[in-house]
Amino acid sequence: MLSIKGLHVFYGGIHALRGIDLDVADGQIISLIGANGAGKSTTLKSIMGLVPKTEGTIIWNDTDITSTHTKEVVKQGIVLCPEGRRVFPDLTVEENLRIGAYLRNDKDGIQKDKDWVYDLFPRMKEREWQLAGTLSGGEQQMLAVGRALMSKPKLLMLDEPSLGLAPLVIKDIFTIIKEIKEAGVNVLLIEQNAKAALEISDYAYVMETGTITMSGAGKELLNDERVKKAYLGE
Amino acid sequence: MELLSKWLPYILAGISVGGQYALIAIGYTMVYGILRLINFAHGDMFMIAGLMAVYLATALPLYITLPLVLVLTVMLGCTIEVVAYRPLRTAPRMSIMISAIGVSYFLQNLALYATGGLAQTYPKIEWLARTVNVFGASTKMVTLVTPVLVIVLVVALVMLIKYTKIGMAMRAVSRDFETSQLMGIDINRVITVTFVIGSFLAAIGSILYFTNYTGIMPTSGGMPGLKAFVAAVFGGIGSIPGAVIGAFVIGICENLIKGANLTTFSDAFTFVLLIIILMVKPTGLFGEKNIDKV
């Protein structure tokens, strides 16, 4: 459904992406692993139309969205849950969810999705009227994921959802990611926690300094000697 | 009782002019809240709104002139945003600030060109200029209308920001541009709405203010603009209630100083206040404290 071909991006004077080819097929969790500065976040940002591209195409369900405005990209069903959660601290939990549905006007649908998010994260229901800034790091991450789901995405892109969280919370987050996939949302995941990511991924890409150096099924990469050495610390 | 009758006119005048400063200060504080920009052209836009009324009133009746002034000022505010600030959205903050100073001088010189530097007399709005008696102190109707109008407008504005979708978007954008975009919010639209509100309130402020001080010079926007700016800083820039309270404090204090026969110092007071605030509590009364939780 999403297909990136030969994508080049210059970002802050750096040749950040040097010809990326990446595909997301329907009904899958795809993960993108690699070291800091490899260009993972830039890849997601360029899909969202937040960074200008110099070359290449991004096709989404047969539509070219290479130079589409962020707002339209969201409208077409792609959403990015950014690195560092970035919830709006002085909006309430409920408002954060509502702003996730900013482009939607179907009141009933929004309410239904809100209930679904509260189902996924019961803690959010408890804290509905609390300011998002008062939540703990893990709760903020859950809110950020919930907020992204409120746009009713067909493709949910998660940038480092486990960063800085306690191991137990990380486990929760990965369980939820699987649940989201079961609900019919495709997931494109960036993770430093390569092991956990590969375990739940149907397919994965390894990125190094702006290029994709390896790709394969999640299980396959888990057993690959080079991946083990470089990313799994084995 | 005697004390009251001596001071009442000054207090009334203070409340009135304070309300007028408040209407300008909201424009400063809202634009700062979203763009982190001190819109130096705001005071001059207020002056241009005054001149518009002068020129339009020569050809049109007041009931057309005044609404037209509101509409044209809003259009001017949005034009300034699109022409002078929008192209600099990703530029360093200093560039956009210099652009704002440029617009300020441009408007002043435009006014100088149009008026030839002569003071223009603001058209008399009978209803507002009418003399009324308040507990024995005689004053203009505008003195009573201003605070009421300010309160109504501020309450409406606060409700808009708190309860509407666009208000929620404004709060989000003022916090985080990029994430707001990821929600599908059109940043430029939110900024335009901010300028519409700021310009609209400044235009209303100009009608009230120039009914009291009828002479308009190209520099007439300078002093009220600066005082409104100080009010916004005093209240904590970015905070709307703060700006309103700051404006009333400045308006009332400066008139009390006049009442104490120290008129010479009334303007100086505002700036002494600015210096003190910046030394003692730089974030102002209700200034935002940036707490980032990780």
- pLDDT tens digit sequence for A91-143: 999 999 999 999 999 999 999 999 999 999 999 999 999 999 999 999 999 99
Q: Can you tell me the distance from the alpha carbon of B205 to that of B150, in angstroms, rounded to the nearest whole number?
A: 9
Instruction: Look up residue A49 and give its two tokens.
Output: 């139309």
Minimum CA–CA partner of A74 in chain B: B184
- For residue A9, the SS3 value is strand
Task: Say whether B176 and A88 touch across the interface (CB within 8 A).
Answer: yes
**Taking Cα atoms as reference points, which of B210, B202, B201 lies closest to residue B154?**
B201
- Domain range for A60 is 2-232
Alpha-carbon separation of residue B162 from A75, A176, B40, B240, B288 (angstroms): 25, 32, 27, 12, 17
Test B294 with A164 for CB contact under 8 angstroms.
Answer: yes
Give the closest residue to B99 by CA, choosing from B49, B31, B39: B39
B186/A contact by beta carbon, under 8 A: yes
pLDDT at B289: 60
Residue A110: how many CB atoms within 10 A of its CB?
A: 17
Q: What is residue B264's predicted lDDT score, i.e. its pLDDT? A: 86
Instruction: Measure B175 CA to nearest chain A CA, in Å.
Output: 7
Q: Which of residues 73-112 of B touch A (CB under 8 A)?
A: none
User: What residues of chain B lie within 8 A of the CB of A151, using their CB?
Assistant: 183-184
A50 Cβ neighbours under 8 A, 6+ residues apart: A70, B178, B181, B182
Alpha carbon of B9: minimum distance to chain A alpha carbons (Å): 42
Judged by a CB distance cut-off of 8 A, whether residue B216 touches chain A is no
Is pLDDT at A60 greater than 90 in this prediction? yes
Give the start-end residues of each E strand in chain B.
120-121, 131-134, 137-140, 215-216
Per-residue pLDDT of chain B (294 residues; tens, 9 = 90+): 677 778 888 999 999 999 999 999 999 999 999 998 999 999 999 999 999 999 999 999 999 999 999 999 999 999 999 999 999 998 998 999 999 999 999 999 999 999 998 999 999 888 888 888 877 778 889 999 999 999 999 999 999 999 999 999 999 999 999 999 999 999 999 999 999 999 999 999 999 999 988 889 999 999 999 999 999 999 998 899 999 999 999 999 999 999 888 888 888 999 999 999 989 988 888 876 654 433
Residue B293, pLDDT score: 38
Closest-approach residue (CA) in chain B for A47: B182
Question: What residues does A155 pair with on adjacent strands?
Answer: A78, A186
How much is the pLDDT for B291? Answer: 43
Tell me which amino acid residue A169 is: V
CB A32 within 8 A of CB A211: no
Kindly tell me if the per-residue pLDDT of A35 is higher than 70: yes
How many Cβ contacts (< 8 angstroms) between chains A and B? 64
Per-residue CA distances from B212 to A154, B44, B127, B176 (Å) = 60, 18, 13, 41
User: At A163, which CATH number?
Assistant: 3.40.50.300
State phi, psi for B182 to the nearest 5 degrees: -65, -20
Window 111-150 of A: residues touching B by CB (8 A cutoff) are: 133, 135, 137, 140, 147
Q: Is B7 on the interface with A (CB under 8 A)?
A: no
Domain around B133: 2-153+188-280
Q: CB distance from B169 to chain A under 8 Å?
A: yes
Distance from CA of B47 to the nearest CA of A (A): 35
> Cβ contacts of residue B7 below 8 Å, gap of 6+?
B256, B259
Place of tokens 């606060």: B158
Asked if residue A177 has pLDDT above 80, the reply is yes
Mean of pLDDT values over A60-64: 93
pLDDT at position A16 is 92
Q: What is the CATH number of the domain that holds B211?
A: 1.10.3470
User: CA of B293, closest CA in chain A: separation in Å?
Assistant: 7
Task: Look at residue B173 and tell me if it is in a domain.
Answer: no
Q: Is residue B179 part of a domain?
A: no
- Residue B189's nearest CA partner among B67, B82, B72, B65 is B82
pLDDT of residue B1: 66
Total tally of structural domains belonging to chain B: 1
CB contact under 8 A, A71 and B184: yes
pLDDT in tens, A5-30: 999 999 878 899 999 999 999 999 99
In this predicted structure, what is the pLDDT of residue B7? 87
Number of folded domains in chain A? 1
Of B169, B178, B294, the CB nearest to A50: B178
Task: Choose among B172, B186, B291: nearest Cβ to A91.
Answer: B172
Using left for φ > 0, alpha for ψ between -120 and 50, and beta otherwise, residue B184 falls in: left
Closest-approach residue (CA) in chain A for B162: A91
What is the structure's pLDDT at A198?
Answer: 92
pLDDT at B288: 67
Interface membership of A186 toward B (CB under 8 Å): no
